[in-house]
Every structure is written in structure tokens, then in C-alpha cells.
A = this chain, B = another copy of it.
Amino acid sequence: MDIKEYFSETRAEVDAHLDRLLPAEGEAPSIIHRAMRHSVFAGGKRVRPVLVLASGESVHGDRDCLLHLGAAIEMMHTYSLIHDDLPALDNDDLRRGLPTCHKVFGEAIAILAGDALMTRCYQLLAELPGVGDGSRVRIVRELAYATGTVDGMIGGQVADLESEGKPFDAETLEYIHHSKTGALLRACVRSGALAAGAADRELEALDRYGGAIGLVFQIVDDILDVTATSQALGKTAGKDVKAGKATYPALYGIEASRRKARELVEAALEEIRGFDEGADALRALARYFLQRTA
């Protein structure tokens, strides 16, 4: 399994789905659709759709259904990036080297473009092809909990804002990591499995896999903020440290953070040890999450 090839193949297919599932630029009112597309097609790695695909394919799900789901979740992710970048939040002018949504379209349209991408995501979840209404409802719930205020993405974002420049403890760090990034990554794994019709025992194993690699992703993000260059990251390096944010390296140091990430990857691989070769992408992804440099 060449994970880079898997990424680039999947990314091309996900982008084709995104293009098809978003309103055209010319559709009125045009400015909002241009703003949505600007941010969705600003060069993301499509980590979340790849995770949806790999999880669903580990239990032999239908690739087209999973691509639709992955594209919808990428819209959810993009909404969160647009709102995070706003002046009132992280105030970022650049994202992946391109001007952020509000720099190009203004704050009002950026706020509405974020709202619109979340809205479109839920519409697409409710229209997920190839599955029954029961699965659709479960997946809507998965995503709503994973992105909500209680142990979800918005809660993590709030806790992150509140933690800036204050002393923080292991519990706060755990909450932020678990909620801000981890919950959505885990929901990618869970919803991919649900869309693929995973059995309960498979879903439970994948759930634990997802929890572990969600945390790995965030720990490695924290480490890269300290060790990588801005150019390699496509965003400003050292920002978390400067903002006094609650991060793994800040609390435990770089070496212990690396060790923790390695242990979590081992645990994730162990969870899916009994899966057949359909899970090879998931195995390769766990290792990739540990070794990524951007």
C-alpha cells in the first residue's frame, strides 16, 4: 500500500465530488458560491475524506457512497477553517499559502460562506446515496455531536480560545485535543464505517482506532508547530507557542510527545489487526499520521 498514491487518487476523486456537490460559481447569488469554492478548493490534503474512505473500505463499503460522505465532511471541515480564520478568532490572512476567505470576500461573506458549508454538509448527509434512512440519521447525529459544544469541535475551539496565555493542566489539554480536532477525525472513521454497514464489533474497533489516531494527528500538529518551518507547513510555524496555547510539547516536551504518538499508533493498529486486506489503507494511514512533516 503506497499511502501517497492512495492520497492522490482519493484526493482527485473527492475533488470531483466536491465540484459536483457544491453550487456552481454562476448560481445566484454568485459571491457566496465563489467564496465557498475559494475555501474548499484552496489546496487541502483531504485528510478527512481519505479517512472516511479508508475506514469504509476496511469493511468493504461502496466507494461512491463514501466519496459523497467524505466530500460532505470536507465541507464541514472547511466551514470550521473559515470561521477560525476570522479576525475575531485566529485572525489569519493566509491559509495553505492563499488569502483566507474574509481577505478575499470580506468578513460578512466569509461568515455566511462558513454557515453555508455547514448547511450544505447536513443536506448532503441526509441525501447520502446507497444507504437507508436509518444510516443517514445516525450519520447526521455523529457529525452534529462531533462538531458541537459538548466534547465536540466548537467546544474545543472555545476551550482553546479561553486557554490562550493562561497556565493550563493535563485535563484542559486533553479536552482541547479530544474535542477540537479529534472528535471530527473520529467521526470520519465512525461515519465511514456506518455508511459501509459495519457490524457492531467492527464499529467498536474502528471507533477505538479513530480515537487513537485523532489524538496522534493533533500531537503531531503540536510537534510540527515547534519543529517545522512555515514554508513546510503552509501556515505560520510557532504560532501556538507564541500564543501560549495548550499543546502537548508545552506540557510534556517533544520527546515524550513523540513517544505518546508512537504508542497510540501501535494501539490503533492493534485494534484493526483482525481486519482483512481491505484495512491496508487504514494501517498505512496510521503510520502516515505519525511520520507526516506537514
A126 contact from B36, B127, B141, Cβ within 8 A: B141
Number of copies: 2
Separation in Å of the A291 CB from the closest CB of chain B?
Answer: 33
Among the 9-residue stretches A49-57, A154-162, A199-207, A251-259, the one with 4 or more Cβ atoms under 8 Å from chain B is: A154-162
Chain B residues in 8 Å Cβ range of A158: 29, 31-32, 109, 112
Do most interface residues of chain A lie in helix, strand or loop, or is the interface mixed? Answer: helix
CB closest residue in chain B, given A83: B111
Known contacts: A29-B159, A116-B154. The answer to whether A108 contacts B88 by CB under 8 A is yes
Q: Given the complex of chains A and B, what is the CA–CA distance between A136 and B33 in angstroms?
A: 27
Q: Given the complex of chains A and B, what is the CA–CA distance between A29 and B126 in angstroms?
A: 29
Chain B residues in 8 Å Cβ range of A144: 119-120, 122-123, 126
A114 an interface residue at 8 Å Cβ cutoff?
yes
A118 an interface residue at 8 Å Cβ cutoff?
yes
Known contacts: A31-B162, A154-B32. The answer to whether A126 contacts B119 by CB under 8 A is no
Q: Is the CB of B149 within 8 A of A23?
A: yes
The size class of the interface chain A forms with chain B is 35 or more
A148 an interface residue at 8 Å Cβ cutoff?
yes
CB closest residue in chain B, given A118: B118
Q: Is the CB of A115 within 8 A of B116?
A: no
A133 contact from B125, B136, B143, B155, Cβ within 8 A: B136
Q: Given the complex of chains A and B, what is the CA–CA distance between A54 and B185 in angstroms?
A: 41
Known contacts: A88-B106, A134-B133. The answer to whether A112 contacts B157 by CB under 8 A is yes
Q: Is the CB of A149 within 8 A of B33?
A: yes
Mark interface residues in A131-167 (1 if CB within 8 Å of B CB, else 0): 0111011001101110111101011011101100000
Q: Is the CB of B115 within 8 A of A154?
A: yes
A149 contact from B107, B116, B145, Cβ within 8 A: B116
7 extra interchain contacts, Cβ-Cβ under 8 A, other than A114-B115, A126-B140?
A83-B111, A89-B108, A89-B111, A112-B158, A120-B148, A127-B141, A137-B137
Subset of 13 A-B contacts with CB under 8 Å: A28-B155, A28-B159, A28-B175, A29-B159, A29-B162, A32-B149, A32-B155, A33-B149, A109-B161, A112-B154, A118-B119, A119-B148, A120-B148
